[in-house]
Amino acid sequence: MLARINSYALNGLEGYGVGVEVDIHAGLPGFDVVGLPDTAIKESRERVRSAVKNSGFDFTPRKITVNLAPAYTKKEGPIFDLAIAIGLLASTEQAGVDEHRKPLPTIGEYVFLGELSLSGAVTRINGVMPMLISAREHGVKKIVIPYANACEAMYIRGVEVYAVKTLRDAVKIINGDAPAPIKTCDVLPNAYGVVAEDLKYVKGQYSAKRALEIAAAGGHNIITIGSPGGGKTMLAKCLPGILPDMTESEILETTKIHSVAGILDERYGIVTERPFRSPHHTTSRIALTGGGSSARPGEISYAHNGVLFLDELPEYPRNALEILRQPLEDGVITVSRAARTVEYPANFMLVASMNPCPCGFYGSATHECTCTPSQRGKYMSRISGPLLDRIDLHIEVDEVNYGDLTSDVEAESSADVKARVDAARKLQTARYAGTPVHSNAKMTSEMIKTHCSLDPAGEKIMQSAFDKLGMSARAYTRILKVARTIADLDGSASVGAKHVAEAVMYRSLDKAVK
């Protein structure tokens, strides 16, 4: 008897339907899986065999052929175990048939996803949320998933999701004994109270905190330069606490990436806080940008809608840093492999930090620098001009003095700064309504011309900075974008000379790397 079970697979973040066809007929005993399966799917033969037996069903040695359609796409992972087992039981008339041994129509109403253990338990899989969303968009109404993935499904409306713990639970569903589907709930930002570092505990560093506020208000990339121990890392960790709350679409899009990668916290099943990713400088190019044999997402995609923090920027491999240039401009990364090409979102804020020289004390008032001019030049040259052009704000972080460290005066809290950031973002949301742009950092050339026109005083300041610093055209537009953000924080409808002057101050590294 031939049975056809519905399942789903992923290509990047997009799901597509897979038909699991199971045919059992006379012949020498065997269990073959065709349809471009990978090693994990081929191994499902042993998992399914044991799971069926240990669930109390019969597994008579016969000729078994499983086809995963469409056959021209590569299938990966153990997600088809449950569908194969259900097809096997249906083809042997142990499930999905009525009292007259005729197939029940309910079996074709469901999509089955799940890995099987040898005991018959249905275990957690990756990528459930993007598959649920894609299945809903393609008209699927009922889906069976592992109970361990139930938290992800709670936030997807418009489809009935059934969570099962064992193979026998799944059989009950197709036999007409389906339990109530998972209850859905609203997507809320910061639902789990994850708290970032607070700016009120950062001693001194008033200019750096001002720059951090501007970066958060406009979604700008930022780099901090200063001696070790000045607070560069702590400043970076404070940034998520002053960024605007994630929207529902941002939450779901970010969760999809984390679900595919298998890094989703199963206690919550969703990402409600902006990601903060801080890969070590020994991270490989593929780990940073994504790739591998299965074209998985990388760190820059994990940081989508959040922050990517690169500490000690010059220590990262040059080829890895240069790959960041395209996603910084486009907000996506394209991963191409022999078998597939996948595009992942990568719209993140880049926050980088570095020392001013190899020893870290060039320009320090308390420590003597031991580096030669050539060593300092070589160190700075590890960061290319084109990459630095894409970083909007360059901030020099001063050493903290003893008076600041021991002061009892509490600095401004992240909550207070966030209120101003939210107000500035509200202006930008209204300004760019009806477009895919949501922040000043992503303005197009036409938007810059419309919203960043300068008065004569501002033009004079800009021309002087352009000539003295030898800026590129990209650096020029970055200054205009930052000036627009400063004006928004100031509540000004136009960009004035003081806004341009402050924005120019945040390009201190331009001349150093030319």
* Domain count across the chain: 2
Please tell me what DSSP assigns to residue 269.
Answer: S
184 in a domain, yes or no? no
Asked which of 123, 158, 174 is the last residue of a domain, the reply is 174
Please indicate, yes or no, whether residues 218 and 72 belong to a single structural domain of this protein: no
C-alpha span between 119 and 511 (Å, rounded): 65
Please check whether residues 21 and 101 belong to one and the same domain.
yes
Query: What sections of 175-265 are H helices per DSSP?
Result: 206-218, 232-238, 248-261
pLDDT at 513: 46
- Same domain, yes or no: 359 and 417: yes
CA–CA gap between residue 344 and residue 321 (Å, rounded): 18
Judge if 458 and 346 occupy the same domain.
Answer: yes
Residue type for 130, please? P
Phi and psi dihedrals of 448, rounded to 5?
-60, -45
Amino acid 299: pLDDT: 96
Judge if 114 and 19 occupy the same domain. Answer: yes
Residues 379 and 415 in one domain: yes
**DSSP alpha helix (H) spans, 226-306:** 232-238, 248-261, 285-289, 299-302
207 neighbors 226 (Cβ within 8 angstroms) = no
In the three-class reduction of DSSP (H, G, I as helix; E, B as strand; rest coil), residue 115 is classed as strand
pLDDT digits (tens, 9 = 90+) for 306-351: 999 999 999 999 989 999 999 999 999 988 876 678 899 999 999 9
Q: Given this model, what pLDDT does residue 503 score? A: 94
Q: How crowded is residue 440: how many other Cβ atoms within 10 Å of its Cβ? A: 31
Closest Cα to residue 252, out of 157, 164, 374? 157
Residue 392 contacts residue 481 (beta carbons within 8 Å):
yes
* Identity of the amino acid at 270: I
pLDDT, position 316: 93
Is 388 part of any domain?
Answer: yes
Does residue 317 have a cis bond before it (omega within 30 degrees)?
Answer: no
CB neighbour class for 468 (10 Å; exposed up to 12, middle 13-18, buried from 19)? exposed
Does 185 fall in a domain? no
In a domain, 179, yes or no: no
**What's 134's domain CATH number?**
3.30.230.10
Predicted confidence at residue 196, as pLDDT, reads 74
Q: Based on the number of CB atoms within 10 Å of its own CB, is 210 exposed (0-12), middle (13-18) or buried (19 or more)?
A: middle
Domain-located, residue 191: no
pLDDT confidence of residue 402: 72
Output the CA torsion sign for 207, 208, 213, 216. Answer: positive
Using DSSP, state whether 70 is helix, strand or coil. coil
Judge whether 317 lies within some domain.
yes
Per-residue pLDDT of the chain (514 residues), as tens digits, is 789 999 999 998 999 999 999 999 888 899 999 999 999 999 999 999 999 999 999 998 889 999 999 998 889 899 999 999 999 999 998 987 766 667 777 888 999 999 999 999 999 999 999 999 999 999 999 999 999 999 999 999 999 999 999 999 999 999 988 889 999 888 877 766 666 789 988 888 888 999 999 999 999 999 999 988 888 999 999 999 999 999 999 999 999 999 999 998 888 889 999 999 999 999 988 999 988 777 889 999 999 999 999 999 999 999 899 999 999 999 999 888 766 788 999 999 999 999 999 998 898 888 889 999 999 989 988 998 889 889 999 998 887 777 777 777 778 899 999 999 999 999 999 999 999 999 999 999 999 999 999 999 999 999 998 888 788 888 899 999 999 999 999 999 999 999 999 999 998 776 554 4
Whether residue 81 is found in the same domain as residue 216 = no
pLDDT score for 472: 83
Which of 174, 209, 231 delimits the end of a domain?
Answer: 174
Residues 130 and 230 in one domain: no
In this structure, are 23 and 86 located in the same domain?
yes
Specify if 360 maps to a domain. Answer: yes
Query: In CATH, what number is assigned to the domain containing residue 365?
Result: 3.40.50.300
Mark whether 291 and 416 lie in a shared domain: yes
Same domain, 144 and 247: no
Q: Is residue 512 part of a domain?
A: no
Residue ranges making up the domain that contains 330: 199-505
Provide the pLDDT for residue 514. Answer: 44
What are the two backbone dihedrals, phi and then psi, of residue 269, each rounded to the nearest 5 degrees?
Answer: 75, 10
User: 398 and 344 in one domain?
Assistant: yes
Domain boundary among 139, 174, 209: 174
Q: Name residues whose C-beta falls within 8 Å of residue 315's C-beta, 6 or more positions apart in sequence.
A: 281
